[in-house]
A and B are shown apart, each in its own frame.
Chain A
Amino acid sequence: MNWKRLPFVILICASLILAACGGTQKTTEATKAPVAVATNPPATEPVTLVFWNGFNAHEVDTLNQMIEKYWNPTHPNIKIEAKGEVGPDQILTAVSGGETVDVAILWDPTPVKVWAYQGALVDLTPYIETQNANLEDIFVPAGLEWVKQPDGHYFGLPFVNFNRGFYWNKDLFRKAGLDPEKPPQNITELAEYARKLTIVENGEIKQLGWAINQDPSNLIELAMAFGGHFYDAQTGKITATDPKIIEALKWDVSLAKEFGLEKVNSFVAGFTGAGNDPFVLGKVAMTLSGCWTVTFIKNAGVTLDYGVGALPTADPAYARSNEVETNPIVVLKNTKHPQQAFEFAWFLATNPDVSREFANLVSNLPQVKAAMKNFSSDPKTMVFVDLSNSPNARGWAPVTVSAFYITEWTTAVQNIYTGSATPEEAMEVVNKNVQAEADKYK
């Protein structure tokens, strides 16, 4: 043995050991998320909870004020330390680095199930049971789907939902000779109106009647309006090749082809980026947009005479379909105070005043039914609130691989509209890829 090499060898061994140690915190770990057991110090000891979320400084200030007003008086022993502007990636880095984060609010629900699967989150079910509450009664059902695992265990709680709805520009309706108070009632009328509202000058599209290919998320809701299901709730199988989804895509693409696929693409591509919503600019007469756009239009100081409602559907059975998501509250496994963390999460999720005030602030919707009454004085916002509670409101794909699914869907949609794939072909690919990915999580 060459003694000169010894230090180097020791170094390598040390590094490997460090690497191995860094990984194995617990020796017994099932491949699915374990149920976190609460062995807590008694709830009367003063405790500080680290609370990370994705909201900006202004919103965090408001949250802190609400915590001051509603939480502190009743929970003097539990202090909350809030940090904003933290996205899921930073939370992931921190938590896997061993950082103690007790409660977090994610700005989109897709990470919840895969994080739960990987054991990052505390199973809240035993704590919920102590509340003796039926979650389906308290919460808007569509928001709940995102935090509930197939076996019925909850790994998060909803906090302020959001959805999309149908917007139409009343001025442009008038100009085209349509009754501004009578939006299209079904898909056929939607196509008719779209044709009437599209203006082409010198071969260039100057105004588009219906927001074709505006946003992959919009197409998801369109597919729902045709009765499409992206996954089977019973079996968990991915159903991207659902004929109704393909029908929806075909409908949209054929409408595009009437005006020229390339022209439509050029037109749509002209409006990318935040604040470049073509509907707000008056260039598109009818569109799907989020519940937040109402506030956006107000804040932007734009004068627009518009209406909001449910997206026209292909069949009355699918009436008032809309895609609902939530900002989930989760408790991270690193927490040393799961009981208190849960109490705080439960407070955030179920307190109707917090829900009402905060949802209004961020232009989202209340996640608890108790906050829906008197939620907003703005009738347009109330339209979205009611939509989110309709029987056909649901999360599009609350499955473990939803993040992967949306990426695949976006690519497929882009391929369809550049003409490099037909809807059938594209959906085949999506189904194959996403199912393969989903199978890894059995």
Chain B
Amino acid sequence: MLKELRVQKEKIRSLTKQEKRSLRLGLAFISPWIVGFLILILYPIFSSLYYSFTDFASFRPPNWVGLNNYVELFTRDDKFFLSLYNTIFFFLLAMPASVIVALALAILLNSKLRGMTFFRSLFFVPTIVPAVASAAVWMWILNPQWGLLNAALRLVGIHGPPWLSSPDWAKPSLVLVALWGIGSEVIIYLAALQGIPRDYYEAALVDGANSWQRTFSITIPMITPVIFFHLVNGTIWAFQYFTEAYIMTGGGPGNATLFYSLYLYRNAFTNVKMGYASAQAWILFIVVMVATLIIVVSSKRWVYYEE
């Protein structure tokens, strides 16, 4: 075993001149990131890791408590598991929905029909509305008595649930609100769609493919890199979902929308238990990394890079 390690070290030590040059070039190009990483990320990460093993309460020096925080989270804290469940539920609902909706909209908006500029702006506007305003707007729409959604449902004879006040419908309501802000993902997909060579479509057309076939055999495979990007980012976003729940439901009703990040925030600030919250943060870090790793590893199978 040791001998193999030594062989490895020899290999690394004897980089070719070309490889050494590439390495220097590569590092030079990413140097802004390296600086940012060391100062704004590495130090806070180690800080938070250290805090997670203490009873740090923000105002006074932390005392080492070892694994206490982690043990308490896993054994005596039912909100920990509840918030994790809520978050995973949200993730499993929101991710597929957002990929499908964003992709579908982008494909539609990519058509050469008149008025596309107007429609693109339309779908994008929600993303620039300040969070405060959009929360107020959506709380009105989801209003059980006279909100737009239930009014529309009443027209077709359905008695709509109390959305944000219903333990069963609160999370799906928030997914709906999140989908409203999908404009930015649509833009990214649009940019990617613009980059697909026209030749492919023409060739397919000559071969007699209809639009469905063209979509599924050309469009979608060609933008799998962007779908991958969307999935990875969406996963990270979904697991850290916080703002809308904080403003619109406060975690209710009955903790139905107590998401992991919301619970973390409460522990850190409301309950002044920064050490405990840091432990929570690290668990979240690991969970998200695992989820992302699964996506990254699987990506080798379904992502197509034109290289």
Contacts and interface: CB of A to CB of B under 8 A. Distances in A.
Direct interface between A and B, CB < 8 A: yes
Interface of A: 2, 11-12, 15-16, 18-20, 22-26, 29, 88-89, 92, 95-96, 111, 114-115, 118-120, 265-273, 333, 401, 403-404, 407, 410-411, 414-415, 418, 420, 437
Given A115-B272, A118-B60, A410 B143 contact: no
A270 B60 contact: no
Interface in B253-286: 253-255, 266, 269-272, 274
Contact of A16 (B46, B144, B164): B46
Contacts, number: 110
A118 B165 contact: no
A26 B147 CA distance: 56
B47 A22 contact: yes
Contacts of A18: 43, 46-47
A115 to B, nearest CB: 7
A265 B167 contact: no
A269 B162 contact: yes
Interface hub of B144, B166, B167 (most chain A Cβ within 10 A): B144
A114 B54 CA distance: 18
Nearest to B12: A4
Contacts of B46: 12, 15-16, 18-19
Contacts of A411: 251-252, 254-255
A16 B53 CA distance: 13
Interface hub of A2, A88, A92, A403 (most chain B Cβ within 10 A): A92
Nearest to A18: B43
A95 B250 CA distance: 26
Nearest to B76: A436
B97 interface: no
Contacts of B144: 266, 269-270
A265 B162 contact: yes
B50 A19 contact: yes
Interface string B77-103: 000000000000000000000000000
Closest CB pairs A-B (n = 10): A270-B145, A269-B165, A120-B59, A15-B46, A414-B253, A96-B58, A414-B254, A19-B47, A118-B57, A415-B254
Contact of B43 (A15, A118, A414): A15
Given A266-B145, A414-B254, A272 B271 contact: no
A272 B165 contact: yes
A92 B163 CA distance: 34
A403 B162 contact: no
Contact of B250 (A88, A89, A115, A410): A410
Interface string B216-255: 0000000000000000000000000000000000111111
Contacts of B54: 23
Contacts of A267: 145
Nearest to B49: A19
Contacts of B139: 272-273
Contact of B61 (A23, A266, A269, A414): A23
A325 to B, nearest CB: 16
Contact of B136 (A29, A271, A273, A407): A273
Contacts of B119: none
Contact of B271 (A12, A29, A114): A114
A26 B58 CA distance: 14
B50 A404 contact: no
A164 B59 CA distance: 33
A346 to B, nearest CB: 23
Contacts of A25: 61
Interface string B40-77: 00110011001100101111111000000000000000
B36 to A, nearest CB: 15
A92 B167 contact: no
A407 B59 contact: no
